[in-house]
Amino acid sequence: MRNTADDWKAIGATEPWYGVLSAPEFLTANITEEAKERFYLQGRSEIAAVTSSLRQQYPDFSPRIGLDFGTGLGRLAFPMAKVCEHVYGIDISPDMLAEAGRQQAGQNVRNVSFCNVLPDGLTFDWVNTYIVMQHIPPRTGYTILSDLLSRLNVGGFTSIHLTYAHDKRYSGTMERDTCAVQYDGESMTVLEENNTQVGHQSMFDYNLNKVLFMFVRKGIAKIILEATDHGGNHGFWIFGRKWNAQSNG
């Protein structure tokens, strides 16, 4: 299975801005202070939309401690900090976290802590992740998601985005990451992988039955789905609230 952790460490070291938003203006060779401001402005707009959706469903949405998983350069963590008392931004790339720290003062945000691992025992009132899980192989992603949901306090909220399918408009990374496949007319099985190129983004689809069952098991029974379509990669925002402790049944 492709080691996407190595990919993102390489991306963070070479193209941290473009790795988050893949537009030419965010390439290292092109980046300007004006482009950086647009980068963070888009994050503020996205979190405004997320909080609006959450408040429509849960009028008392008022989280104290927030988590932005896969925070990158703090694009979403900084506007989340306007809503929360404190936000933790978690990312696997040390170079991205270093740049996020450098940007923090300019964003006039003090109540964000950046880390590369989740501190033991830390729990949250709001767990957010956007355009992140799609780059993590589900075999690993399900474990991560289970941990994130286990850390959600009773009464806490989720805004978790992941992808579940792609259409014919998108096949790029699937073709790049595989050398041979078996296709029987109904399903496709990878026979041989291509893991030689480090520093590229890959896209993965999650089983929504498994994901939603996990949410219910973790005590998040009222779930709202909002569809996304990014160039043929189909996903959902999963907005939810934890009403009771997780079930072991």
pLDDT tens string 208-219 = 999 999 999 999
Q: Which of 163, 199, 198, 194 is nearest to 176 (CA)?
A: 194
Task: Tell me the pairing of strands 222-230 and 233-241.
Answer: antiparallel
pLDDT of 146 = 97
The answer to whether residue 191 scores a pLDDT higher than 80 is no
The answer to whether residue 57 scores a pLDDT higher than 60 is yes
Structural domains in the chain plus CATH codes: 4-172+203-241 (3.40.50.150)
Residues 126/67, Cβ–Cβ less than 8 Å = yes
The answer to whether residue 77 scores a pLDDT higher than 50 is yes
Beta carbons within 8 Å of 39's beta carbon, 6+ residues apart: 17, 20, 21, 26, 73, 75
Residue 102, token pair as written in the block: 């450098």
Residues 163/205, Cβ–Cβ less than 8 Å = yes
207 burial type by CB count under 10 A (0-12 exposed, 13-18 middle, 19+ buried): exposed
The whole-chain average pLDDT of the chain stands at 91
Place of tokens 């402790």: 245
Place of tokens 């709202």: 224
pLDDT of 222 = 87
> What's the pLDDT tens digit per position in 133-181?
999 999 999 999 999 999 999 999 999 999 999 888 876 677 777 768 7
Q: Find how far residue 188's CA is from the centre of its chain.
A: 26
pTM (global) more than 0.75: yes
> What's the pLDDT tens digit per position in 84-142?
999 999 999 999 999 999 999 889 899 999 999 998 999 999 999 999 999 999 999 99
Q: Which of 122, 131, 124 is nearest to 73 (CA)?
A: 131
What's the rounded mean pLDDT across residues 50-72?
97
